[in-house]
Amino acid sequence: MKKILLPFPIIILVILTSTLMAKAQQTVVFQASDGLEVTADLYVKGTDLPYIILLHQARYSRGEYREIAPKLVNLGYNCLAVDLRSGGEVNGVVNRTAMLAAGKRIPAEYYNAMSDVEGAIGYVKSKSDKPIVLWGSSYSASLALIAGAKNLRVAAIVAFSPGEYFDQPDFVSSKIGKLAIPVLALSSKAECQPVRELLSGVNPKLVSYYCPTDSGQHGSKALWQSNPSNGDYWMAITMFFSRLNKN
């Protein structure tokens, strides 16, 4: 992806001073690749802008991004925060996809949620021909890496605390060696070395890492204002996005 020049200091100011806990502009429903109905929050700034697909961590919901998504919109992206079938409730937002899967007795282990990720990519494809950024948190960061290695419309990946969360050892690392797009990997301090090991088979020129100087946080909640070092994580995010080509 080609580099573009953005007013970086201005972007930093906008992102770090934006404290709006805005509701999603619209709650939408689409089908996973296996037909399950998936719920997501859609944040649209402009029809000509690319999308970030936001995936939550275990036991969570799309509510993980209620504080985060409006700030990403300020970076010039539309966002789709997805309820994956493996999840629960966070920030007062119930995971509707997980509830539906449970009611229908549909398997909802971590990897089963790949169908939801594929459905989200398909939904965004129907809305835009712009590049897609996949953003995952914990187990869904691993799903994002795997999906990004095989889907040509995915142009970049943000992976918060990815790991070998599935039953088979080296399951993730065995599927991501051919990744050919930029990746930003962030984590808590304790997770930094395991994350580097997970991504060791990926072209090092494509991977950027952020390791906090304090203990940090697991998953995307590292960006919440309740995390004392959230500003440092946001700086890493903003620098990464400033280098991406939105076309």
pLDDT tens-digit readout, 106-149:
999 999 999 999 999 999 999 999 999 999 999 999 999 999 99
Per-residue pLDDT tens over the stretch 192-229: 999 999 999 999 999 999 999 999 999 999 999 999 99
Contact 62, 119 (CB under 8 A): no
Q: Does some domain include residue 1?
A: no
User: Cα–Cα distance between 21 and 36 in angstroms, integer?
Assistant: 29
In a domain, 124, yes or no: yes
Mean residue pLDDT across the chain: 91
Instruction: Decide: 60 and 137 in contact? Cβ < 8 Å.
Output: yes
Count: domains in the chain:
1
Q: What is the pTM of this model?
A: 0.92
DSSP one-letter string for 155-198: EEEEEES----SSSTTTTGGG-TT--S-EEEE--GGGHHHHHHH
| The pLDDT value given to residue 96 | 98
Domain extent, residue 63, equals 8-242
Q: Would you say residue 159 lies in a domain? A: yes
Residue 6 has pLDDT above 70, yes or no: no
pLDDT at 3: 35
Residue, of 245 and 116, whose pLDDT is higher: 116
Asked, for residue 137, whether it belongs to a domain, the answer is yes
Within 13 Å and on the Cβ side, how many CA atoms surround 104?
Answer: 13
- The reply to whether 84 falls in a domain is yes
CATH number of the CATH domain containing 41: 3.40.50.1820
Do the domain assignments include residue 3?
no
Residue 92 lies in a domain: yes
Q: Looking at the domain assignment, is residue 2 inside a domain?
A: no
